[in-house]
Amino acid sequence: MTQFIQQLINGLSIGSVYALIALGYTMVYGIIKLINFAHGDIFMFGAYVGMVAITTFKLNFFAALIVAMAVTALFGVIIERVAYKPLRKSSKTAALITAIGVSFLIQNGTQLIMGANIYAFPQIIANQYFDVYGVRINLLQLVIFFTSIILMFILQFIVKKTKLGRAMRSVAVDKDASVLMGVNVDNTITITFAIGSALAAAAGIMVGLYYIKIYPFMGFAPGLKAFVAAVFGGIGIIPGAMIGGFAIGLIETLVAGYGSTLYKDAVVYGILILILIVKPSGLLGKNVKEKV
C-alpha cells in the first residue's frame, strides 16, 4: 500500500509537468485551432534560458523563473508572428506542417548554439524530503505540483474573469464576429502564445530542477505526452489539460512501477488512440462553445 501511494506521488510529479505543458497546447488550440507541435521545444528553450540565467547571470530561483518565462514568452510571440500569422488564412494542414518545421528549427538551432551535449541544470534549490507514514515526498515534487496548480488557477481566472479572457473566448468562438465587436484578434492571439510559452518555460525549469539533465531534444517526448494529455482532458479546455496531465503521469508511472518502463510510452499512445475512437472531444469535452 505504501508503495502504491509512493507511486501515485511519483506519478503526480511527472503529471504536473505534463499538465503545465498541456496548458499551452490547449490554449493555442482553443483559440486558433492549431496544434503547436513546437510547444515541446519552447519548453526546452525555457529550460536553457533558466540555466543561463542561473549560471551566467547568477540569478536566484524566482528571478530566473520570471526571466525565463518572460524571455520564452517573447520567443513564443516571435514564432507566432514569423511562422504562424502569415498562414492564418491558409489551410490548417499548412499551419500544422509549419509547426513541425518550427519544432525542428528550434531543436537544431539550440544544438547549433549550445552544442549537442547534455547539461546539468544548476541545483539551486537543495532537495529535501519528508517522510509521511512511510511515504517519501520531495520538496521539489511539492514545488512542481503546487506551481502547476497555482498557474492553472491564475490562467482559469484570466480566461473567465478578465476582459482579455473574454476576448480570448470570443476569438475562440467566432473570429470574424469578434472583430466586428471591436476585439483585436491579432493581439489576443499573440498574448495567448505569450502565456502558453511562459507556462512551458516554467515547466522547463521545473524539469531542469527535478530531473537535472537538459539537452536540445528534451522537449520532444514530453511535448508529445502533453499533447496526449491535452486530448485526453479535452483539447481547448483548461481544467481538462490539467486533469489529462495528471492522468497521463499517473498511468505512465503505474505502468513503469508495476509492469515495465519499456511499455509505458506504448500505453500512453494507446490511450490517445482509444480516446480518439471512443470520445474524440476528451474527458471534459462536452460544451463545444466554451473553448479556450
Partner 1 sequence: MKKLISLLALTLLVLSGLTACTSTPKTIKIGLNLELTGEVSVYGVPEKKAAELAVAEINKAGGIDGKQVELVIYDNAYDTAKAVENSQKLIQEGVVAILGSATSAPTMAIGPVALESEVLTITPSGTNAKVTMNGDVVNPFVFRACFIDPFQGLVLANFASDNLSAKKAVVMGSNSSDYAKDLASIFTTQFTANGGEVLSDVFYYADSDTDFSAQLTSIAALGEFDVLFVADYAARAGLIINQARATAGLETVAIVGPDGFESPDLNDLAGGASNVNNVYFSTHFSTIVDNAKVTSFIAAYTASAGEAPSALSALAYDAMYMLFAAIDAAGTDPVKVRDAMKATTGFEGVTGTISFDALNNPVKSAIVVQLTNGEQTNAVIVNP
Contacts with partner 1, residue ranges (CB under 8 A): 3, 6-7, 10-11, 13-14, 118, 120, 123, 127, 129, 131, 134-136, 138, 207, 211-213, 218, 221, 252-254, 256-258, 260-262, 265
Q: Are 283 and 233 in contact (CB under 8 A)?
A: yes
Nearer to partner 1, 39 or 264 (CB): 264
Nearer to partner 1, 31 or 256 (CB): 256
Q: Are 233 and 25 in contact (CB under 8 A)?
A: no
Cβ of residue 144: shortest distance to partner 1, in angstroms?
12
| Strands 129-132 vs 135-138: parallel, antiparallel or unpaired | antiparallel
Cβ of residue 18: shortest distance to partner 1, in angstroms?
11
CA-to-CA distance for 249 and 98, rounded, in angstroms?
29
Binning the chain into helix, strand and coil, the percentages to the nearest 5 are 75, 5, 20
Nearer to partner 1, 237 or 255 (CB): 255
CA-to-CA distance for 106 and 44, rounded, in angstroms?
9
Nearer to partner 1, 195 or 218 (CB): 218
The amino acid at residue 36 is N
Nearer to partner 1, 157 or 258 (CB): 258
Q: Are 72 and 198 in contact (CB under 8 A)?
A: yes
Cβ of residue 224: shortest distance to partner 1, in angstroms?
11
Cβ of residue 257: shortest distance to partner 1, in angstroms?
4
Cβ of residue 82: shortest distance to partner 1, in angstroms?
30
The single residue listed with the C-alpha cell 543561463 is 52
